[in-house]
Structure 1
């Protein structure tokens, strides 16, 4: 299959699409005319998202998805391919961020970040890469964080997972010729990322900073849209999007 041009409508798969950056990206790309397959564990939210998008004239299907399970991502990709006949874009967005000092030894939180942030990204790549190579075209967008470029107290393990996503993205880019790879690293962004797990004091401090600085998730969705809309010969490799007030 020939590479897509900026004018072609693309089949876009988005993980973690029930809230935050994933939801905003699904709405933005569907509004631009792309065919979106949204995945997440919270299927009720996905159903509401699909209802909203379709009411606005967009095209969005949804599917239950747990990125920590390889078979779940394979089923997600297969469902999209069966419906649309191709996979143009994967947005690896699902992520968790339970912050805590390492001395707290919240090993279950560490394991969850590794499973979602690293394994989830790898499972997504493994599920779409063979189909994209067969097509001779495709675009993988991995959502990292400014934490992929710096390390902060209480975020050591989270930063480690996002550094890993950055390394995986660069390695895949160097190995690819027909497949584009984009790493998007948001700063403080309005989302539910700080609502689960972690040490209460660390999470509260991060929430307070986010309330002061956070930009809307639509700003990240616009950055993703920009990368997708470039000609097939242009690969936007890295985008860092921070609030102007964030150091």
Structure 2
């Protein structure tokens, strides 16, 4: 059996496509999400499905240790869980700011802390953190989402520097616009309509969640001595 892959936010979008891809490739997978029924519906082989909120460090760690007891140590952690609640600084509800910072930043920190010590001891392993092109450049109505994804990019860079001497790879992946459920988290209909209009203005967004998953698996499948530190991936027609 191949090595254990842990994927957060595995019930939809990038996470769901990665779950199918790695499971079909023969990896045992720990699939984490708040909507466990969606994980179970995939009915993947060698898959452990657990209802976990990544902001709950204890529950997150408990699930990882349970999977490691069954499948062996985590070889790949993909911190994919995230929320995008678009809004303007002057009008957005601060509770939405907290949700984004808790899930998008604290959730990533929790996941890394759970696996990093053991990876350092083994001098092997890979951590892939999902940021966004909004973690590289600003976009209107994205203030706190950008802050959270810039944060993911920064902490990934620090983690890479800390882990590289131990032969552990830490990667930041920054996708552009892709058709997933992410936009549905936003509570402003006006902002959603504006976002969809922007997508139409640049042409059809043809890149898919499956394309992102395939690219991430390529990065992981490279030899342990090869590290793609940072990867921006967008639809060819996205010009910003």
Deviations 1:31-71 (A, max 9, x none): 2221111100001001012x1x33xxxx3221111011111
Contact 1:98–1:203 (Cα < 8 Å) also in 2 = no
Quick check: 136-145 or 29-38, which moved more?
A: 29-38
1:147 maps to which residue?
A: 134
- 1:131 maps onto 2:123 in alignment: no
Any gaps of 5 or more consecutive residues in structure 2? Answer: none
Q: CA deviation at 1:187?
A: 0.6
TM-score by length of 2: 0.93
Over 3 Å counting, the alpha-carbon distance change for 1:44 and 1:129 in structure 2 is: same
Q: Which moved more, 1:98-107 or 1:138-147?
A: 98-107
Partner of 1:94: 81
Q: Secondary structure at the match of 1:102?
A: coil
Partner of 2:180: 191
Report the counterpart of residue 31 of structure 1 in structure 2: 24
Q: Report the counterpart of residue 205 of structure 1 in structure 2.
A: 194
Match of 2:210 among 212, 218, 225: 218
| In 1, Cα distance between equivalents of 2:63 and 2:11 | 15
Contact conserved, 2:78 with 2:128, CA < 8 A, in 1?
Answer: yes
Between stretches 208-217 and 173-182, larger displacement belongs to: 208-217
Query: How far off its partner does 1:214 sit?
Result: 5.0
- Between stretches 27-36 and 92-101, larger displacement belongs to 27-36
C-alpha displacement at 1:102, in angstroms?
A: 1.0
- Number of the residue aligned with 2:226: 234
SS in 2 for 1:220: helix
Q: Which residue is equivalent to 2:148?
A: 161
Distance 1:113 1:210 in 2: 23
Q: Is the 1:95–1:113 contact (alpha carbons within 8 Å) kept by the matching residues of 2?
A: yes
TM-score of the superposed pair, with normalisation by structure 1: 0.90
More deviation, 201-210/127-136: 201-210
RMSD: 1.4
* 1:68 corresponds to: 55
Cα shift at 1:167: 0.5
How far is the alpha carbon of 1:85 from its aligned partner?
A: 2.1
1:78 to 54, 59, 65: 65
Residue 10 of structure 1 pairs with residue 3 of structure 2: yes
Aligned length: 234
User: Using a 3 Å threshold, how does the CA distance of structure 1 residues 23 and 208 change in structure 2: closer, same or farther?
Assistant: farther
Indicate the structure whose relative CO is greater, using CA pairs within 8 Å and at least 6 residues apart.
Answer: 1
Question: How far, CA to CA, are the matches of 1:43 and 1:85 in structure 2?
Answer: 22
Alpha-carbon shift at residue 230 of structure 1 (Å):
0.5
